[in-house]
C-alpha cells in the first residue's frame, strides 16, 4: 500500500491546525490502476525520548544548525534544524528563557490540577475576602485602558456609560488577522463587578450589549458572518471565566471556529448565553455551587486549604 500512498497528489487543503501541526489534504491516488479520490491526514511527530536524551549532553548534538529570530530581555527565539536534517524549513522553533527564576520554572511546568467545588459558603468566607484583599495595582493596566491612558489605538468599540458601558478590543493573544482564531475581549466599566458571582438580573442589558457589539465588530471590522436575523445563532463563542486571572469583569469573544483555545474549557469558561439565560430565570450566581479547575500553587487554592477545604 505504500505504492498507493506514494502516488498521492494534492488537490486541496481541507483543514489545517497550526497549533497542533496537523493538515488534512484532499488528492488523488492511483488505486487499482484508476485515479481515485483520497484523503491524506498529516501530523508532525512528537519529540522522541531519544531526541530529548541527546540534549542532556548538549543542544549542539541535537541540532545541526541554529538561527536567531529575535531577542528581548531574558527571552531569545531561535529556529533549529535537527542533527541530520537538511530541510529548507526549520524543524523546531525554540524560546530560551535565561536566566530562569523559580517562578518562571513553575509557570512552564505541568501543574497538578483538581476541580474545586466552591459552595456559596466557601465563596463568602474565603474566595470573596481573598479577592477583596488583592492590591488594586494588579488591575491598574485595565484602568489604564478604560481611562484612555494605554492601548487606545486598539479599541474597537467604546460605550462610556459608567454602569452599562464597556470597551471592546482584540485580545493580546490574537494576531488580528486569522479569522478562524478571532479573539476579542470586552472589559466592563463598572469596577464593582469582579467576577461572574457579582452578576444580577440588572446586568442582562450590559451582557446583551457586549454580545451585540461583538457580533457587529466581528462582521464589520473583521468579516465574520453576521448573526442570524432571528438572533438564534451567532458566529461568536462568548464566555466568562470563573476563576478568572484578573478580577475586573470581562467577557471573551472567540470565533465559534476557534476550538483549540485552552481557556475555553469547561471548568473555567461559562457561555455568556447560558449565563444570561440563568439570570433571566432568576438564578443568583452568588448562591450557586461553582466548579473550577485549580492548579497546585495557586494562591486561592492555598487560601481555601488554609480554611480547611479541598485537602
Q: Annotated catalytic sites, by residue?
A: 250
Q: Which of 139, 271, 298, 302 binds its own copies (CB under 8 A)?
A: 271
- Distance (Å, rounded) from C-alpha 189 to C-alpha 52? 49
Peptide bond into 99 cis (omega under 30): yes
**Angle value at C-alpha 303, between 297 and 305, nearest 5 degrees:** 80
Site for its own copies in 117-136 (CB under 8 A): 117-119, 122
Q: Is 82:62 a contact under the CB 8 Å cutoff?
A: yes
- CA 109 to chain centroid: 18
- When asked if residue 100 is in the footprint of its own copies (CB under 8 A), the reply is yes
- When asked if residue 24 is in the footprint of its own copies (CB under 8 A), the reply is yes
**Residue ranges for the binding site?**
141, 151, 171, 173, 241-252
H helical segments located in 93-220: 102-107, 120-122, 128-133, 140-146, 204-220
- When asked if residue 260 is in the footprint of its own copies (CB under 8 A), the reply is yes
- When asked if residue 94 is in the footprint of its own copies (CB under 8 A), the reply is yes
Write the binding mask 156 to 175 for its own copies: x where contact by CB under 8 A, - elsewhere: --------------------
**Nearest Cα residue to 309 out of 119, 79, 177:** 119
- When asked if residue 18 is in the footprint of its own copies (CB under 8 A), the reply is yes
Minimal distance, residue 137 CB to its own copies, in Å: 27
Minimal distance, residue 228 CB to its own copies, in Å: 5
**Residue ranges for the binding site for substrate?**
141, 151, 171, 173, 241-252
Q: Select the span of 57-65, 144-152, 181-189, 198-206 touching its own copies (CB under 8 A).
A: 57-65
**Nearest Cα residue to 266 out of 283, 291, 285, 301:** 291
The residue (of 61 and 163) whose beta carbon lies closer to its own copies is 61
Peptide bond into 243 cis (omega under 30): yes
Q: Which of 197, 237, 248, 250 binds its own copies (CB under 8 A)?
A: 237
Minimal distance, residue 138 CB to its own copies, in Å: 24
The residue (of 67 and 161) whose beta carbon lies closer to its own copies is 67
Q: Which of 47, 201, 245, 249 binds its own copies (CB under 8 A)?
A: 47
Q: Select the span of 96-104, 150-158, 161-169, 186-194 touching its own copies (CB under 8 A).
A: 96-104
The residue (of 188 and 227) whose beta carbon lies closer to its own copies is 227
- When asked if residue 104 is in the footprint of its own copies (CB under 8 A), the reply is yes
- Distance (Å, rounded) from C-alpha 112 to C-alpha 108? 12
Minimal distance, residue 240 CB to its own copies, in Å: 10
Say which DSSP state 230 is in: T
- Distance (Å, rounded) from C-alpha 159 to C-alpha 124? 32
- When asked if residue 140 is in the footprint of its own copies (CB under 8 A), the reply is no
Q: Is 179:255 a contact under the CB 8 Å cutoff?
A: yes
* Beta-carbon contacts of residue 51 (< 8 Å; ≥ 6 apart): 62, 82
- CA 199 to chain centroid: 23
The residue (of 103 and 132) whose beta carbon lies closer to its own copies is 103
* DSSP state string for 98-129: -S--HHHHHHTSPPPEEEEEE-HHHIIIIIHH
Q: Which of 112, 132, 153, 175 binds its own copies (CB under 8 A)?
A: 112
- When asked if residue 36 is in the footprint of its own copies (CB under 8 A), the reply is yes
Q: Which of 73, 84, 135, 162 binds its own copies (CB under 8 A)?
A: 84
Amino acid at each position: 500500500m505504500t505504492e498507493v500512498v506514494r502516488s498521492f497528489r494534492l488537490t486541496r487543503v481541507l483543514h489545517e491546525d497550526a497549533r497542533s501541526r496537523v493538515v488534512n489534504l484532499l488528492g488523488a491516488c492511483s488505486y487499482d490502476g484508476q485515479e481515485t479520490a483520497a484523503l491524506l491526514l498529516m501530523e508532525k511527530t512528537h519529540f522522541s525520548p531519544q531526541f530529548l536524551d541527546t540534549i542532556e549532553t548538549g543542544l549542539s548534538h541535537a541540532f545541526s544548525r541554529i538561527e536567531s529570530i529575535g531577542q528581548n530581555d531574558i527571552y531569545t527565539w531561535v529556529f533549529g534544524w535537527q542533527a541530520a536534517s537538511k530541510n529548507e524549513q526549520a524543524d523546531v522553533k525554540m524560546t530560551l528563557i535565561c536566566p530562569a527564576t523559580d517562578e518562571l520554572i513553575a509557570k512552564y511546568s505541568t501543574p497538578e490540577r483538581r476541580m474545586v467545588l466552591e459552595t456559596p459558603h466557601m465563596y463568602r468566607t474565603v474566595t470573596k475576602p481573598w479577592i477583596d484583599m488583592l492590591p488594586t495595582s494588579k488591575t491598574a493596566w485595565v484602568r489604564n485602558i478604560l481611562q484612555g491612558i494605554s492601548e487606545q489605538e486598539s479599541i474597537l468599540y467604546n460605550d462610556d456609560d459608567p454602569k452599562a458601558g464597556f470597551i471592546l478590543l482584540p485580545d493580546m493573544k490574537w494576531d488580528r488577522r486569522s479569522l478562524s482564531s478571532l479573539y476579542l475581549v470586552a472589559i466592563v466599566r463598572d469596577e464593582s463587578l469582579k467576577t461572574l458571582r457579582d452578576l444580577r438580573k440588572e446586568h442582562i442589558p450590559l451582557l446583551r450589549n457586549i454580545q451585540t457589539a461583538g457580533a457587529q465588530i466581528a462582521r464589520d471590522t473583521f468579516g465574520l458572518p453576521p448573526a442570524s436575523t432571528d438572533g438564534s445563532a451567532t458566529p461568536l463563542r462568548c464566555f466568562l471565566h470563573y476563576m478568572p486571572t484578573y478580577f475586573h469583569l470581562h467577557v471573551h469573544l472567540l470565533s465559534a471556529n476557534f476550538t483549540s483555545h485552552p481557556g475555553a474549557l469547561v471548568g473555567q469558561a461559562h457561555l455568556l448565553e447560558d449565563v444570561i439565560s440563568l439570570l433571566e430565570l432568576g438564578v443568583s450566581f452568588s448562591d450557586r455551587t461553582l466548579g473550577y479547575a485549580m492548579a497546585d500553587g495557586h494562591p486561592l487554592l492555598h487560601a481555601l486549604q488554609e480554611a480547611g477545604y479541598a485537602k
